[in-house]
Amino acid sequence: MDYTKKIMYHSNYWYNDGLKRAQIRDTSGAIVSLRRSLQYNRENVAARNLLGLVYYGRGEVAEALVEWIISRNFRQRDNIANEYLRNIQNSNRELGAVNQAIKRYNQCLAYCAQGAEDMAVIQLKRAVSMHPTFLKAYQLLALLYLHAGQYAQARQMLKEARKLDTTNEMTLRYTQELKRLHGRKARQAGRPEEPGKNEVVEYKRGNDTLIQPRPSTVRRSGGGFLNMLLGMLMGAAVVWFLIAPAVQESKAAQMNKEILEYSERIGSMEAQISAQTRMLDSYRATSADTEAAAQNAASTLDSYENLMNVSDQYDSRGYSEDVMADALLNVNRDSLGERGQALYDELVGNIFPYACRILYNAAMESYNVANYDLSADNLDKVVRMDEGYEGGNALLHLGLSCRRRGDGEAAARHLNRVVELFPDTEYANTAREELEAIATEASASPGSEGENSEQEGENPEQSGENQGEGESEQNEEASGEGGEDPEQNGEN
């Protein structure tokens, strides 16, 4: 198999995928696809140049310059990266604006760390005016507007960010949080305020407003002394409830004002912390489901793409069956639709028989020259396509190849499968012999010496007979006399 062609094919495939995503402004997806293309072939100049353009389109000029410089190092002539670098070098004014925008963005991060969000908003507005494609600046500005409760401005910034990158994860998260906060504010605006429960009596005395609890009814009784006592008590009550509050009213008002301001600050900070905590908990709770869904979607997408590529390759008649079979083995049939499954079954029926023959012949040649790694790899593909190929011989030699290269667990699994599928054949007999040999090797390992000693202790007579027979054979070899009585040797 030509691995170089396979690697180049995968690299070009992911480059085409990145190009499609870049054309629909899915820059995040394009970056992922282009980086995967460069993993297969780091010298793919077209993919590296396109990656630089994607970075440049979302305002990350430094990353774009890095990719273009690397591309130019790989190929000096006939490289469009030279033109990109030349244009940027000639536009000193644009480079200066980008540099100033980045500096202002970094300064905004420092302001945010210090709690000076107003200064950060001012600097970010200047940064996006100087560098209109600065995606990170739009995102940070939207986040600051969200914290300040300015939802209209936040929505406008997120709209600009989505123009630059339609599927950016951070932009989508901020948009979802904007919808949630805006909906909660609308619900709270419709609630009437509850009336106060404590009733008080207030009246004016000159220019002062006096507030006191509703007076209770005092039962009066007759008698001069009692009336005097009640009069003194009433006088003290008048001094306590009327004069003292009037004197300290200004101090209490000032203290209440300060307490109210601190309470509002504490409430705002607690609301922000609570919102961030809920957001973090939500992300943690849904991360596993999101990752599983993303993997399932990626698997389905890869299956359809592999199926379409194999269909095109089969129609072109320019690819060998074993190459097309490699791609078909990566297709998950259950994730396909009805038409996809029908096309998959048709391609399997046309490709797998020829691919099995090619890979089987190559595997047997490798097995005969003791190249068990390559033999096992090829036979594994054959068994995945047709487990009973050659009446079980492919499955048998897969187990033998795994054993020869030291993978006893895989060898036992494949050999047991031969015995299950073909119990009354020579292949099954050979598989049983190999399984017995594997079991013997496992029992002879250091971890099983204690078990062997216990078994010998349970059967002392059999052990003694085996020992006698072993000694008789050694005596025959040492003396060269084959006519000695084996019973006498056993007694010895």
Assess contact for 203 and 210: CB atoms under 8 A.
yes
Assess contact for 332 and 300: CB atoms under 8 A.
yes
CATH C-level class of 109-185: mainly alpha
Q: CATH topology of 3-90 equal to that of 353-444?
A: yes
Which runs of consecutive H residues, i.e. helices, occur in 91-223? 92-114, 117-130, 135-148, 151-164, 169-189
Q: Is 78 exposed, middle or buried (0-12, 13-18, 19+ CB in 10 A)?
A: exposed
3-state secondary structure of 208: strand
Contacts of 40 (CB under 8 A, 6+ apart): 7, 8, 10, 11, 14
3-class SS string, 407-437: CHHHHHHHHHHHHHHCCCCHHHHHHHHHHHH
From first to last of the 492 residues of the chain, give the pLDDT tens digit. 477 888 888 888 998 988 888 888 888 888 889 999 989 888 888 989 999 888 888 888 888 888 888 988 888 888 888 888 888 777 777 777 777 878 888 888 888 888 888 888 888 888 888 888 888 888 888 888 888 888 888 888 888 888 887 878 888 888 888 888 877 665 665 554 444 444 445 444 444 444 555 554 444 444 567 777 777 777 777 666 666 666 666 666 777 777 777 667 776 777 777 776 777 676 666 665 656 656 666 677 777 777 888 888 888 888 888 888 888 888 888 878 788 888 888 888 988 898 899 999 999 999 998 899 999 999 999 998 998 898 889 999 999 999 888 888 898 999 999 999 999 899 889 989 888 888 888 787 655 444 444 444 444 444 334 434 443 343 333 333 333 343 333 332
CATH of domain 3-90: 1.25.40.10
So where are the chain's domains?
A: 3-90, 109-185, 353-444
CATH of domain 353-444: 1.25.40.10
pTM of the model: 0.35
